[in-house]
Structure 1
Amino acid sequence: MLTVKDKKFVSFIDKHQIETRIAQLSREISEDYRHKNPLFIVVLNGAFMFASDLMKNVSIPCEITFVRVSSYSKTTSTGELTEVLGLKEPIQNRHVIIVEDIVDTGLTMNKLLFQLSIHKPDSIQVATLLFKPAALKTPLSVKYVGFEIENRFVVGYGLDYDGYGRNTDSIYVLAD
Structure 2
Amino acid sequence: MAERVSRVLFSAEQIRIRAHAIGEQIAVDYADGAAKDLQRRPPLLVCVLHGALVFMADLAREIPTEVEYDFISVSSYGNGTSPGAVRLVKDLERPIEGRDVLIVEDIVDTGYTIDYLRRGFAARRPASIRICSLIDKVARRETEVQVDYVGFPLEENAFIVGYGMDYQELYRNLPFIGVLKPEYIK
Give the distance between the partners of 1:77 and 1:102, measured in 2 at CA. Answer: 14
1:2 paired to 2:19: no
1:127 paired to 2:132: yes
Letter in 2 for 1:123: S
User: Which of 47, 55, 60 pairs up with 2:60?
Assistant: 55
Q: Match of 2:169? A: 163
Q: Which has the higher helix share?
A: 2
TM-score (norm 2): 0.88
Q: CA deviation at 1:168?
A: 1.1
Which one is further off, 34-43 or 116-125? 34-43
1:103 paired to 2:94: no
What stretches of structure 1 of length at least 5 have no aligned partner? none
Q: How does 1:1-176 map to 2 (within 5 A)?
A: 2-3=2-3, 8-34=5-31, 35=34, 37-149=42-154, 150-175=156-181
Q: CA deviation at 1:75?
A: 4.5
How many residues end up aligned between the 2 structures? Answer: 173
TM-score (norm 1): 0.93
Identity over aligned pairs, percent: 39
Give the distance between the partners of 1:2 and 1:162, measured in 2 at CA. Answer: 15
Q: Give the superposed CA RMSD.
A: 1.5
Q: Secondary structure at the match of 2:173?
A: coil
Q: Which has the higher strand share?
A: 1
Give the distance between the partners of 2:67 and 2:137, measured in 1 at CA. Answer: 28
What stretches of structure 2 of length at least 5 have no aligned partner? 35-39
Give the distance between the partners of 1:173 and 1:75, measured in 2 at CA. Answer: 16
Deviations 1:63-114 (A, max 9, x none): 1000111111445232421211111211111110000000000011101111
Give the distance between the partners of 1:63 and 1:170, measured in 2 at CA. Answer: 26
Aligned residues of 1:68 and 1:85 also touching (Cα < 8 A)? yes
Q: CA deviation at 1:175?
A: 3.5
Q: Match of 2:37? A: none
Give the distance between the partners of 2:2 and 2:6, measured in 1 at CA. Answer: 5
Based on CA coordinates, which of the two structures has the bigger radius of gyration?
2
Deviations 1:9-64 (A, max 9, x none): 42111111000000000000010011261101100000000000001111111110
Give the distance between the partners of 1:79 and 1:133, measured in 2 at CA. Answer: 18
Letter in 1 for 2:66: P
Q: Secondary structure at the match of 1:72?
A: coil
